[in-house]
Amino acid sequence: MGGKEKLTMQMFFAVKCVSVVCLFASQELKLKDKECERLSQVRNQLEQELEELTASLFEEAHKMVREANVKQAGAEKQLKEAQGKIDVLQAEVTALKTLVLTSTPSSPNRQLHPQLQSSGSRGSHRRGAGHIRTSSVGAAFQTSSGKPEPSTVSIQSVATEEREMDSVLFAEFLLWREHPSLDRSSAFLSRVYREDIGPCLSFTRSELSQLVQRAVENNSLTVEPVAMSALPVVKASALECGGPKKCALSGLSRVCQHRIKLGDKGSYYYISPSSRARITAVCNFFTYIRYILQGLVRQNAEQIFWEVMRLRREMTVAKLGFYLTDQG
């Protein structure tokens, strides 16, 4: 074979090799194009999902912010209302402590007991007077002086109130005072429940009466003026909760300026002045008993006994329908 033929053969093989290389390159390029197209689709899909997720997250974030603002506003409102209740309760506790520590049956504090002063002598009580008539029916207390001064002129006869200690009641009280508690099994509290608390809290609506008694015993009952209340009223039937002109306890048509709430949750019940006086009388009794349990009463047994008897009399009088009203 000559040199020319060798050169031709080499050129043929070279062209053949180039063709094969171009073919492989073309196939590889097609594969790359397909891979690029697939990756582009994946990228577009990921971008769409990311946009949807971002929008969803922003919407959820805005929703959470709105809910947080609503809850914060509600919490601030409840805080203000709770602070107002705390202020009122602290004032009541201070007044009751002052009443317990400064007032005795033999020497009552007339600034805390305005009912012990007659309408003509309130604010101007004179120690030299022999007796002071009360504004309640048939009640009078004798001062520590015992005798009127010569310069005192009595225009009308003054009735005196005498008292005599019942030995059985006093013995039951002394037995209870040795180990004071709110246990109703003691003879002392059993009698008070039977003769005073039960009848005083016995209203026409017996089921509600039992709930009221239970709340008073647990110290969880709230009495508030209707005009001052800003709390939401839990929905209940008109027959159950009464109204501004219908007492929920007695069911009678009366002007109700106060309402009660049993515990932290539940309905408000409108009550008449007479029902409020009966509930208040029982609450005053339990408050004094709790002060005794806490050791806040610094008096002898006889003084404490007569204060308990006075509170029992308040329950009896309230049960009979007598109550004081604010004048002017």
Q: What's the pLDDT tens digit per position in 123-160?
A: 433 333 333 333 333 333 333 334 444 444 444 556 78
* pLDDT value at residue 30: 84
- d(CA 254, CA 248) in angstroms, rounded, equals 10
Residues forming a β-bridge with 318: none
**Cα 65 from chain centroid?**
30
The residue whose two tokens read 């891979």 is 35
* pLDDT value at residue 263: 83
Give residue 200's region: left, alpha or beta (phi > 0; psi -120 to 50).
alpha
The pair of structure tokens assigned to 64 is 């959470």
Q: What's the pLDDT tens digit per position in 56-92?
A: 898 889 889 988 988 988 898 888 888 888 878 887 7
pLDDT over 60 (residue 320): yes
CA distance to 14, 99, 140, 151, 158, per residue, from 163 (Å): 140, 22, 11, 28, 16
- d(CA 301, CA 177) in angstroms, rounded, equals 8
The pair of structure tokens assigned to 264 is 């932290």
- Assign 281 a pLDDT band (cuts: 50, 70, 90): very high
The mean pLDDT of 289-299, rounded to a whole number, is 91
Contact between residue 159 and residue 141 where contact means Cβ atoms under 8 Å apart: no
Residues forming a β-bridge with 243: 246
Beta strands in 23-177 (DSSP E): 131-133, 140-142
Q: What's the pLDDT tens digit per position in 16-72?
A: 787 788 888 888 888 888 889 889 889 999 998 998 999 889 888 988 998 898 898
- Domain locations in the chain? 167-226+239-320
Contact between residue 93 and residue 87 where contact means Cβ atoms under 8 Å apart: no
Q: What's the pLDDT tens digit per position in 229-269?
A: 444 444 444 445 767 789 999 989 999 989 999 887 778 89
Q: What's the pLDDT tens digit per position in 92-113?
A: 787 776 666 655 554 555 555 5
* pLDDT value at residue 100: 64
DSSP 8-state symbol, 218? T
pTM over 0.75: no
* pLDDT value at residue 274: 94
Work out the mean pLDDT of the chain and round it to a whole number: 78
- Assign 167 a pLDDT band (cuts: 50, 70, 90): very high
CA distance to 216, 219, 276, 279, per residue, from 319 (Å): 16, 21, 11, 10
The pair of structure tokens assigned to 265 is 């949750």
